Amino acid sequence: MSGLAITFASDNTSVATVDAVSINPGTGIATATVFAHNPGTAHIAASGTDGITTVHSTQATLIVSGPSLTINDVSANEGNSGPTTFTFTVGLSSPAPNGGVTFNIATHDGTATTANNDYVARSLTGQTIAAGQSTYTFDVSVSGDMTIESNETFLVNVTNVSGARVSDAQALGTIVNDDTPSLSVSDISANEGNSGTSTFTVTIRSTLAAPAGG
């Protein structure tokens, strides 16, 4: 049929896109070139019109395989001073395909906050696990102190993933309180006196400052 326009479309362009269409002038057969982007499922369908009548094909199912992505949780003591490094690992279930796996990664406050100097915020974009590789590490600096407090947590989020299926994109960092005070009571010795009362003052000391609320 002369004057027939044929188009192809994908219903999930994050997984696959139709990049080119060619028509054999002798047979009239149309061929679509489809490019796979991320693991998942897409459906490709064709439509043809002569300007008056439009017909649609049945859908072809395209399944794109690839690795799944996860990031691990980390739990460690904060230390008494200076930085402690929490290392998070972004892992793939199989080596990254050609073109690699790209993503953004950033910390996010939980009960641990940057305002309280519990840890140092970090945010990176356009990170890559190269083709053939399976892991990527992300270090977060946690600030040690000698404050008596509960365990605190922060998050590490992986976003805008390309080249892999997301299985677990959020990690929990647990800063374990390792500040335990020791109490001591002073000895005291004094004369009792011959009459009346004598006051003996006993001092209780803590190796660490008391937390809010005592």
Do 87 and 164 belong to one domain?
yes
Do 81 and 172 belong to one domain?
yes
The answer to the question of residue 157 being in a domain is yes
The answer to the question of residue 184 being in a domain is no
Q: What is the spatial distance between Cα 70 and Cα 108, in angstroms, rounded to a whole number?
A: 17
Burial of 21 (0-12, 13-18, 19+ CB in 10 A): middle
Q: What is the spatial distance between Cα 23 and Cα 163, in angstroms, rounded to a whole number?
A: 30
Do 149 and 52 belong to one domain?
no
Divide the 214 residues of the chain into consecutive groups of 10 and give the mean pLDDT of each group: 79 90 86 86 90 89 90 90 91 92 97 94 98 97 79 96 93 84 67 69 63 55
Predicted local confidence at residue 135, as pLDDT: 98
The answer to the question of residue 204 being in a domain is no
Do 94 and 114 belong to one domain?
yes
Predicted local confidence at residue 9, as pLDDT: 92
Domain count within the chain: 2
Predicted local confidence at residue 208, as pLDDT: 55
Do 102 and 139 belong to one domain?
yes
Q: What is the spatial distance between Cα 30 and Cα 8, in angstroms, rounded to a whole number?
A: 9
Q: Residue type for 118, please?
A: D
The closest alpha carbon to 30, from 55, 7, 58, 56, belongs to: 7
Do 55 and 74 belong to one domain?
no
Give the residue numbers spanning the domain of 150.
Answer: 68-176
Can you tell me which residue has the tokens 């230390």? Answer: 79
Q: Given its phi and psi angles, is residue 163 left (phi above 0), alpha (psi -120 to 50 degrees) or beta? A: left
The answer to the question of residue 186 being in a domain is no
Write out the two tokens for 89: 């690992």
Do 79 and 121 belong to one domain?
yes
Predicted local confidence at residue 114, as pLDDT: 95
Write out the two tokens for 162: 């390309």
CATH number at residue 147: 2.60.40.2030
74-77 β-sheet, strand order = 74-77, 170-176, 152-162, 101-109, 123-129
Do 104 and 158 belong to one domain?
yes
The answer to the question of residue 90 being in a domain is yes
Do 45 and 130 belong to one domain?
no
Domain end, chosen from 45, 64, 83, is at 64
Do 120 and 22 belong to one domain?
no
Do 113 and 97 belong to one domain?
yes
Do 42 and 77 belong to one domain?
no
